[in-house]
Amino acid sequence: MHSPQTIFDYSELKAKVKNTKLARLVAVVPDTFLAQINHGDFPAWKQVLDALPELSPQSFELDQELRVGSAEQLNDAGRGDLKNLLLGLQPWRKGPINLFGLDIDTEWHSDWKWDRLKNKISSLSGRKVLDVGCGNGYHCWRMAGAGAELVIGVDPHLLFSMQYWAIRHFLKEPSVYVLPLSLEAVPDKLEAFDTVFSMGVLYHRRSPIDHLYALKDCLRKGGELVLETLVIEGERGMSLVPEERYARMPNVWFLPTCATLESWLLKAGYKNIRLIDVAVTSVDEQRSTQWMKFESLPQALNKQDPSITIEGLPAPKRAIFIAEK
């Protein structure tokens, strides 16, 4: 069982980054968040973590997939019990994740996004990496699998941190840490990371250029930004500002064209800017599952014309840029 000190205990991370630039970041993080938790669902979520079985994986895979342990380590009854426990932490949005033969079929095929960028970015080998808006840390684990020395994810949603700790309960070795913080909580001018990822965040920001500046502040000189966001077709200078919702989402502010986004990156002081991928999001990549039972992309598209949303706006298309500080 988990002791109270295990959940949200970042003393190991603090020891790793002592006397480095990253010490300023972890100083923001208390040794334990337990005394400060006031979310109404936290007691139920903590019960899930407390009830997780004590299993050490005989093997794990982070490079080609996120797999912890093997099916042989857990019988069908035990796998059923584990499934019932982890369903208590839904919705599971980023994945897929395999724990001892249990397939967590998440809302997003986040592995498809990873496959689109992993061979086009600078090697992560030996790098210190920040993943902004990391959710449950799925991509953080994949970054560790790609050779990163240290991966820190930040996301203010407490449930996603609980999902991360559920995975970390079984997979303690890699240097992957998810902090329940927003980017705004990261100290100014940190300049500590070799690579910074911002995937699926920019369009939720009221001031996208300020977001680009904040990401740049996290990078060392010469470091690389990996930016993934929603875009539209069109010329330089154009962007879509939804009047109300976009694909059912209420908090979407700016959807630029690729040329406009490049101009924003230039304005924020980045160089060597490259567009490495553009892909229409399919209903196979984002959909409802038994692990995420709420409405998803299929319900956000026009049934007669899936090239537009139910609001009559262009259907989701995502671009990935890389740029240097």
Q: What is the pLDDT of residue 3?
A: 41
pLDDT band of 264, cuts 50, 70, 90: very high
Angle between helices 138-145 and 110-117 (to 10 degrees): 40
Phi, psi for residue 190 in degrees, rounded to 5: -70, -45
Q: What is the pLDDT of residue 29?
A: 84
* 199 annotated to a ligand binding site: yes
> Rounded to 5 degrees, what angle do the CA atoms 109, 147, 222 make?
100
Give percent above pLDDT 90 in the chain. 91
Q: What is the pLDDT of residue 4?
A: 38
What does the alpha-carbon distance between residue 154 and residue 161 come to, in Å, rounded to a whole number?
9
* 245 annotated to a ligand binding site: no
Phi, psi for residue 130 in degrees, rounded to 5: -120, 130
Kindly state the average pLDDT of the residues 47-60: 95
CA distances 141 to 192, 259, 266, Å, are 20, 32, 30
Give percent above pLDDT 70 in the chain. 96
Span 62-87, pLDDT tens digits: 999 999 999 999 999 999 999 999 99
What CATH number is given for 11-324 in this structure?
Answer: 3.40.50.150
Span 182-193, pLDDT tens digits: 999 999 999 999
Task: Using the predicted structure, report yes or no on whether residue 126 has a pLDDT greater than 50.
Answer: yes
What does the alpha-carbon distance between residue 161 and residue 181 come to, in Å, rounded to a whole number?
10
Range with lowest mean pLDDT among 27-36, 42-51, 165-174, 273-282: 27-36
Span 291-322, pLDDT tens digits: 999 999 999 999 999 999 999 999 999 999 99
Span 181-240, pLDDT tens digits: 999 999 999 999 999 999 999 999 999 999 999 999 999 999 999 999 999 999 999 999
* 113 annotated to a ligand binding site: yes
pLDDT band of 6, cuts 50, 70, 90: low
* 183 annotated to a ligand binding site: yes
